[in-house]
C-alpha cells in the first residue's frame, strides 16, 4: 500500500499514527483527574517504577468495606499496555475504569461485590519512547512472566509479586486475570484462553467470553480461541493460567486496531476512541451477568456520593521484598462462583 500526502500548510505540524495515540502523559493526567475527585472507592498507588523511573500505577476500585482488615475479597486483576504500540488497550482500559467509578447502578453493585485491581500501563517506558512492542531495553515484556528480572523488567516483576501474594492469601480469591491487547490483522474484539486437561474447567472458562459476546456487538466469540502454544509460554495469560487454581480464569482480551463487523452484517465499522471505551464498559458490566447480580441492581438506592476524608487506607497487598519464585503446590478450597447469564439490558 502507498499513498500521497500534500503538506499544504507550512505552519502546521503533521503526525502519522498507526492508531489513535494514547500517551503516558495523557494517562497520568487522566489518573490525576480521577484522584482529584476524592472518591472513597477509588485508590491509586505506585506499585513500582520502570527502568527510567516512570510510575507503575496500580488502581483499586471497590467499596471501602472490602478493604477492611480480615475482609474476604473476590479480585479481578486487569492489566494493559504491556505492548506500548497497542494504544486501543488504553482506551478499552479507560472504558472499564470510567464505568467502575461511575454512579451507574451496575457499577455500584460491582464495587460492593468485587475488588478490581487495575495496572493500566505495564510498559510506561515503551509508551513514552514510542516503541511498538518492546521495553526500553528491547524486551517483549509479555514473554518474561516466568522469571521477570527486578532490574530489566521491574514493572512486570512488581505486578507478578503482587499477584503471587494475593494468590497465597487465604482471604483473597483471585478470580479473573485479563490482559488487554490490540491485534493488527484480526477484526472485532475477541479473547484468548488456556487449554486444560479438566474438561469441566475448560468449559467453565468459555462462559465469560460468551456472556461478553451477548453484551458487546463488536465482540466475536467465534474468533475467541483457547491454546497452549509454546511461543506463548511466557505470557501473563499462560503463566498465571498454570499458577492459579481451578477457580481462577485468565484471558488475553484482544481488540482490532481497525474495524469490527456486527453479527449478521458484512460491512466493517471503523473503531473510534469511543467505540474502544464502550467495549471496556461492556467488559465491566459482563461481571454482573457472570456473578448473577442482576437482582441486586434493582435494590440499589439513590446514589449518595461519599468523599474520602482521610488518606487512603493501607493496602492489603504491599510490595513483597523477596523473590516470587516459591509457589505452593495447591491452595485451600475456594468457593466456586461460576454462573450463567441472567437476561439484562445491555449498557
**Catalytic residue ranges:** 254
Q: Are 74 and 115 in contact (CB under 8 A)?
A: yes
- Residue 321 DSSP label: S
Instruction: Collapse the DSSP code of 316 into the 3-class scheme (helix H, G, I; strand E, B; otherwise coil) and give the result.
Output: coil
Based on its alpha-carbon atoms, the radius of gyration of the chain, rounded to whole angstroms, reads 20
Q: Work out whether the CA dihedral 208, 236, 165, 159 comes out positive or negative.
A: negative
Closest CA to 75 of 89, 51, 53, 58: 58
CA dihedral 335, 95, 42, 247 (to 10 degrees): 10
E strands of 19-108, at which residues? 42-49, 55-61, 73-80
| Host H or E run for residue 192 | strand 189-193
Amino acid at each position: 500500500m502507498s499513498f500521497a500526502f500534500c503538506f499544504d500548510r507550512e505552519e502546521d505540524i503533521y503526525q502519522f499514527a498507526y492508531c489513535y495515540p494514547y500517551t503516558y502523559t495523557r494517562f497520568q493526567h487522566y489518573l490525576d483527574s480521577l484522584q482529584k475527585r476524592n472518591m472513597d472507592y477509588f485508590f491509586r498507588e505506585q506499585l513500582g517504577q520502570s527502568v527510567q523511573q516512570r510510575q507503575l500505577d496500580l488502581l483499586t476500585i471497590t467499596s471501602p468495606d472490602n478493604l477492611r482488615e480480615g475482609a474476604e475479597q473476590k479480585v479481578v486483576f486487569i492489566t494493559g499496555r504491556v505492548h506500548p504500540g497497542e494504544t486501543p488497550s488504553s482506551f478499552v482500559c479507560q472504558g472499564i475504569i470510567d464505568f467502575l467509578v461511575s454512579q451507574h447502578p451496575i457499577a455500584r453493585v460491582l464495587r460492593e461485590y468485587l475488588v478490581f485491581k487495575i495496572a493500566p500501563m505495564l510498559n510506561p517506558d515503551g509508551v513514552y519512547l514510542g516503541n511498538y512492542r518492546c521495553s526500553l531495553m528491547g524486551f517483549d515484556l509479555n514473554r518474561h512472566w516466568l522469571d521477570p528480572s527486578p532490574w530489566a523488567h521491574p514493572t512486570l516483576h512488581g505486578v507478578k509479586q503482587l499477584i503471587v501474594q494475593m494468590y497465597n492469601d487465604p482471604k483473597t480469591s483471585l478470580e479473573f486475570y485479563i490482559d488487554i491487547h490490540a491485534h493488527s490483522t484480526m477484526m472485532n474484539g475477541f479473547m484468548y484462553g488456556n487449554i486444560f486437561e479438566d474438561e469441566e474447567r475448560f468449559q467453565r472458562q468459555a462462559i465469560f467470553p460468551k456472556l461478553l459476546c451477548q453484551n458487546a456487538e463488536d465482540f466475536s466469540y467465534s474468533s475467541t480461541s483457547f491454546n497452549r502454544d509454546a511461543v506463548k509460554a511466557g505470557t501473563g495469560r499462560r503463566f498465571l493460567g498454570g499458577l492459579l487454581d481451578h477457580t481462577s480464569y485468565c484471558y488475553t482480551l484482544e481488540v482490532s486496531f481497525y474495524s469490527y463487523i456486527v453479527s449478521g452484517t458484512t460491512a466493517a465499522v471503523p473503531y473510534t476512541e469511543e467505540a474502544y471505551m464502550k467495549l471496556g464498559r461492556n467488559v465491566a458490566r459482563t461481571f454482573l451477568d457472570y456473578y448473577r447480580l442482576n437482582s441486586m441492581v434493582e435494590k440499589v438506592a439513590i446514589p449518595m456520593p461519599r468523599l474520602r476524608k482521610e488518606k487512603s487506607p493501607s493496602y492489603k497487598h504491599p510490595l513483597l521484598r523477596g523473590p516470587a519464585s516459591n509457589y505452593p503446590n495447591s491452595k485451600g478450597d475456594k468457593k466456586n462462583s461460576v454462573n450463567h447469564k441472567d437476561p439484562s439490558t445491555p449498557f
